[in-house]
Structure 1
Amino acid sequence: MAQTVVARSLRGFTGAGYDKGRPLLVQAAWFAALHLLFVKWWFPARWRPVLLRAFGARVGERVLIRHGVRVHWPWKLEIGDDVWIGEGAWILNLEPVTIGSDCCVSQGALLCTGSHRRRSVTFEFDNGPIRLEPGSWVAARAVVLRGVTVGRGGVVGAGAVAHRDLAAGAVLTAKGVSA
């Protein structure tokens, strides 16, 4: 079966329907705070949740966020209690990301709510929220893509890519889902 080839014209990209959620000045202030303070090894871990809250994130108690963590838009982030986010994790939340209580997002993990319509000539957005249910774990260098819910106690193993919902208690490895 022959595949249809889409001739891209990125010049025509509009970003239609995407709302950043805050004015440009707030976006700029966040990027300054992110790059000058939040990601730095010397910035105290106990202040990272405070800084996120100052920019509109809903962050629970006893949340540990290590250095090198990047959050695209704090106002589109909700984190429960007793959550750990490891060094170098990236929360690319063009849409809302919800991290339930007792979750772990390990070193170098990526939560990416953004994508593009592959059949769109102008490559328009095809974004979707991400939800990590309580007790779930996104292991080192794992990726959770847009629109995915990781069920309660589910595990996205090291290096795995979750491109569809993961049932409660399920384990996704780089080789597939196991019970």
Structure 2
Amino acid sequence: MTADPRERSLRGFTGAGYDKGRGIAVQAAWFAALNLLFVKWWFPARWRPALLRAFGAAVGQRVLIRHRVRVQWPWKLEVGDDVWIGEDSWLINLEPITIGSDVCVSQGAMLCTGSHQRRSPTFEFDNGPIRLEPGSWVAARAVVLRGVTVGEGAVVGAGAVAHQDVKAGAVLTTGGTS
């Protein structure tokens, strides 16, 4: 569809093609666990991977997840070994997010698998998975958008926005890729 965005009608939004992956009872249980336990400073960091696993995530060994980290759907998350996820990070995984081993997702980073078709008059979803290859780093307040792979050893620098793949070993800054 190639409608004029000025003729947008959000009332007609259907969400067609998006599958949350679990029923409403599991979704509600996760939101309760997320907001009452997982994000809290007093909830032990060593228990966070276990809680994600209990809701269907595949989480490796020696994974450190700090407080105030938000995960939309654990059952759409795969995390390798020796991963660090910093405070205030947000994993909006309407589609799968795969995080390889030895990856650092720093404070306030956002991984967002969701988007919308800007030319659709009803603003339908345009989602895609995210993959962080082993040894990559998503620095503080950086954003990785839907459909992006951050290559092995690559860096999405502080405040940068990765809207397309970042090649292995590359460094993306707010000024571009080097």
TM-score by length of 1: 0.97
CA distance in 2, matches of 1:137, 1:51: 24
Q: What is the Cα-based RMSD across aligned positions, in Å?
A: 0.6
Match in the other structure for 2:101 = 101
Match in the other structure for 1:91 = 91
Contact 2:79 2:101 in 1 (8 A): yes
**Alpha-carbon deviation of 1:7?**
1.0
CA distance in 2, matches of 1:23, 1:170: 40
Contact 2:113 2:127 in 1 (8 A): yes
**Alpha-carbon deviation of 1:99?**
0.2
Letter in 1 for 2:83: V
**TM alignment of 1:23-172, pairs within 5 A:** 23-172=23-172
Identical aligned residues as a percent: 82
Deviations 1:39-64 (A, max 9, x none): 00000000000000000000000000
CA distance in 2, matches of 1:5, 1:125: 15
Deviations 1:109-134 (A, max 9, x none): 00000000000000000000000000
**Alpha-carbon deviation of 1:5?**
4.3
Deviations 1:104-163 (A, max 9, x none): 000000000000000000000000000000000000000000000000000000000000
Q: What SS does the corresponding residue of 1:159 show, helix, strand or coil?
A: coil
The gaps in structure 2 that reach 5 residues or longer are none
Q: What SS does the corresponding residue of 2:7 show, helix, strand or coil?
A: coil
**Alpha-carbon deviation of 1:6?**
4.1
CA distance in 1, matches of 2:73, 2:8: 28
Deviations 1:3-45 (A, max 9, x none): x544110000000010000000000000000000000000000
CA distance in 2, matches of 1:5, 1:40: 40
Q: What SS does the corresponding residue of 1:51 show, helix, strand or coil?
A: helix
Corresponding residue pairs, total: 175
Q: What SS does the corresponding residue of 1:98 show, helix, strand or coil?
A: strand
Deviations 1:54-99 (A, max 9, x none): 0000000000000000000000000000000000000000000000
CA distance in 2, matches of 1:40, 1:88: 11
The gaps in structure 1 that reach 5 residues or longer are none
Letter in 2 for 1:175: G
Contact 1:6 1:119 in 2 (8 A): no
CA distance in 2, matches of 1:166, 1:111: 14
